[in-house]
Structure 1
Amino acid sequence: MIYLTTFLFMLLAYLFGGLNGAILLCRLKGWPDPRTRGSKNPGTTNILRFHHAQAASAVLIFDLLKGTLPVYLAYFFDYSPVEIGFIGIATCLGHIYPPYFQFKGGKAVATGLGTLLPLGMDMTGLLILTWLFTVAVSGYASLAAIVTALAAPFFVEQIKPEYTTPVIMLSILIVLRHISNIHRLLTGKEKKIVNWKQ
């Protein structure tokens, strides 16, 4: 029965994760679908490129909370660390493959971060600082996401080691979603979100 409830929770988390903040905001405002412009990624960075900071902030907050809520509820209902990890991953898969939007979603960076927020403010602070530092040094949002995803398992190992395995799985998922960005970074074709030379 426990396995059945976990599966049902994962299914609900997947469906909830499919509510993409960037796509919903663009439809509400009558803006072009973010999957057809810029990086074609329906996420915070692409919204920031074509709209204003308030719109990008709204998307960021929505996607963060979308990741946090299922994990927090699973923690509240006393699911095991591994079950909580799978519920968080299911939420991210919903963001990546949304059933409401032809299974074409984002890269789950904000949603993935949201799933880690219930682990504590120390974990949250380390992840945010890693992202900000990488952006400040390189100017690339994609590189910041990759570095933060790779650093997350090391952080969680020191803070709440019982969650290390699911966090490793989540990090692998996020890095795999950035394969095209990695190729563009290596070939010098990736666009910066911040260019200090200008």
Structure 2
Amino acid sequence: MTMMVFILLAYLLGSIPFAVVTSWIFGLPDPRTFGSKNPGATNILRSGNKVAAILTFLGDAGKGWIAVALAQHFAPIWGLDSDAVTVVALAVFLGHLWPVFLHFKGGRGVSTAVGVMIGLNPWTGLLAVVTWIVVAAIWRISSLSALAAALIAPVYAWMFLGFEASTLVIFIMSVLIFWRHKSNITNLISGKEARFGKSGTP
């Protein structure tokens, strides 16, 4: 029963749509109505409000980190083993992808995955962010940066964590991020994917 409560709370936390909340606070259009229609930081950036985009990223990443941090603290107190932390990590990520508050139509999960990875192993998360930044600086394509970071993240996890449950969760998140970027991958192959500062599907 305790494990189910942990999972439910993590899922509900992941379901908080910070892109929509931030847009409402700043008086911006609903991110589901413009650009890629994706409720995420990159699409918020299209509105021209960099502060709102940064806050969206911090909110989405923060909920991933908070879920893991709380699970790491409370799981031993409630007699749960370390596997409970990895299940919570996956639950908060799935909450972002399929949020109950947005009729199960959420974002692509990149920011939340970063927060989860930093919670599970800071070096894995930070190296994934560095990968994103390097690829973005060279090619200036958000989706390509996200895909590159998702591709290499399980390798970073293996380097620092070995073959354990946390590594498996990071691998699952990476696979789901690729799946959520299906249309972007098609655009990348055809050369139609938008770069930073241009309209299109991020």
Distance change (3 Å), C-alpha of 1:135 and 1:80: farther
Report what 1:176 is aligned to.
179
Look up the match of 1:60.
Answer: 57
Verify the 8 A CA contact 2:90 2:173 in the aligned structure 1.
yes
Give the alignment's Cα RMSD to 1 decimal. 1.6
Q: Distance in 2 between matches of 1:98 and 1:65?
A: 16
Q: Secondary structure of the equivalent of 2:105?
A: coil
For 1:95, give the aligned amino acid: H
2:14 is matched with which residue?
17
Cα distance in 1 for residues equivalent to 2:59 and 2:98: 17
Alpha-carbon shift at residue 30 of structure 1 (Å): 3.2
Question: Aligned in 2, Cα 1:136/1:80: closer, same or farther, shift over 3 Å?
Answer: farther
Q: Which residue of 2 aligns with 1:72?
A: 69
Give the whole-Å Cα distance in 2 for the aligned partners of 1:95 and 1:108: 6
3-state DSSP class of the match of 1:100?
A: helix
For 2:50, the aligned partner's letter is: A
Report the residue type matching 2:25 in the other structure: L
The 1:194–1:26 alpha-carbon spacing in structure 2 relative to 1, beyond 3 Å, is closer
Q: Distance in 1 between matches of 2:57 and 2:16?
A: 13
Deviation string, structure 1 residues 146-181 (Cα, Å, up to 9, x no partner): 111111110011111222111111111111111111
Q: Describe the shift of the 1:171–1:82 C-alpha distance in structure 2 as closer, same or farther (beyond 3 A).
A: farther
AA in 2 matched with 1:178: H
Amino acid at match of 2:18: G
Decide whether aligned partners of structure 1 residues 82 and 194 sit closer, same or farther in structure 2, where only a CA change above 3 A counts. Answer: farther
Q: Deviations along 1:5-25, whole A, 9 cap, x unmatched?
A: 222211111111111111111
State the TM-score, normalized to the length of structure 2: 0.88
Which runs of 5 or more structure 1 residues have no equivalent in the other structure?
none
SS at match of 2:46: helix
Q: Map 1:117-128 to 2 at 5 A.
A: 117-128=118-129
* Aligned partners of 2:23 and 2:52 also within 8 Å: no
Indicate yes or no: 2:139 matched with 1:138. Answer: yes
Could you tell me which amino acid in structure 1 is paired with residue 91 of structure 2? Answer: A
Partner of 1:31: 28
Give the partner amino acid of 1:165: L
Query: What is the identity percentage for the equivalent residue pairs of Structure 1 and Structure 2?
Result: 38
Q: Secondary structure of 1:105's match?
A: coil
Structure 1 residue 86 displacement after superposition: 2.1
Structure 2, unmatched stretches of 5+, are none
Quick one: which amino acid aligns to residue 75 of structure 1? Q
Q: 1:82 to 1:183 in 2, by over 3 A?
A: farther
Instruction: Give 1:81 shift.
Output: 4.4
- For residues 31 and 197 of structure 2, the distance between their equivalents in structure 1, rounded to whole angstroms, comes to 20
Tell me what 1:116 maps to. Answer: 117
